[in-house]
Amino acid sequence: MNIPAILAIYRFEMARTRRTILQSIISPVISTSLYFVVFGAAIGSRIAEIDGISYGAFIVPGLVMLSLLTHSISNASFGIFFPKFNRTIYELLSAPVSHFEVVVSYVGAAATKSIILGVIILATAGLFVPLHIDHPLWMIFFLVLTAVTFSLLGFVIGIWADNFEKLQLVPLLIVTPLTFLGGSFYSIQMLPPFWQAVTLFNPVVYLISGFRWSFYGVADVAVWISLAMTASFLALFIAIATWMLRTGYRLKS
């Protein structure tokens, strides 16, 4: 494995975060803080506890997951899209770097940024609501697994997109609505039986449910199902990203 090449790409991508810290870190934290102020304090005080958990605390895992999914995708998609846009991708493709090493570099950097952001948001949440984590190791595992999985999705989107409009299409029109409808702000057990069944077709439900279980020990679906679904998404995105690099899909044209 070409470790120096992986580290070079990884450091370059991490350096880009330092240059855009206002957009990468500060802006998401402020946005999430506003969610806590509006939903946790203003609205949450008028909502009964859910499964014995105050509403403000209940929405913390969902808000963290919302930011994690959004920024994992955007970090990875922009990371691989700009070399395509600037035509510097050909230098990377001709370098002695394997497809696996390219994926590890870009996805590793994107996931690292998202995990840092997730930890900062968690710390920020502790300023607004009483926060406790029943299963801290599982929380870290779900955080890392989700960040890596959706950074891979972002990597795939970055290769697929051939303009800035397409780059924003999937996150804005698909991922964000699925996250809002996936139990970020409510338990799907509060829905009528028919809509509970429909909601189970939303893949984000399993991510949020497993992550919330690591906090409070309550979940909308069994935790092993959440793990299995997340692992399935990870395997799928790895296969797609590898195929794209191997075939040169939208990279060599």
pLDDT given at position 44: 63
Distance CA 131, CA 249 (A): 45
Judge whether 253 lies within some domain. Answer: no
Total of domains in the chain:
1
Token readout for 213 is: 């279980």
Within-domain flag for 252: no
The pLDDT of residue 204 = 92
pLDDT computed for residue 83 by the predictor:
86
Is 22 a domain residue?
yes
Angle between helices 60-85 and 99-125 (to 10 degrees): 140
The answer to whether residue 86 sits within a structural domain is: yes
Domain that holds residue 174: 3-247
CA atoms within 13 A on the CB side of 86: 10
CB 232 within 8 A of CB 152: no
Q: Write out residues in the chain with pLDDT < 70, as ranges.
A: 22-24, 40-45, 252-253
Nearest CA to 9 among 65, 74, 88? Answer: 88
pLDDT at 135: 94
Nearest Cα to 56, choosing from 69, 39, 73? 39
* Residues with Cβ within 8 Å of residue 213, at least 6 apart in sequence: 135, 138, 219, 223, 226
So what's the pLDDT on residue 252? Answer: 67
pLDDT score at 5: 85
- Continuous H helices in the chain: 3-19, 21, 27-35, 55-58, 60-85, 89-94, 99-125, 136-160, 164-170, 176-180, 193-199, 203-216, 223-247
Instruction: Report the alpha-carbon distance of residue 41 to residue 56 in Å, rounded.
Output: 7
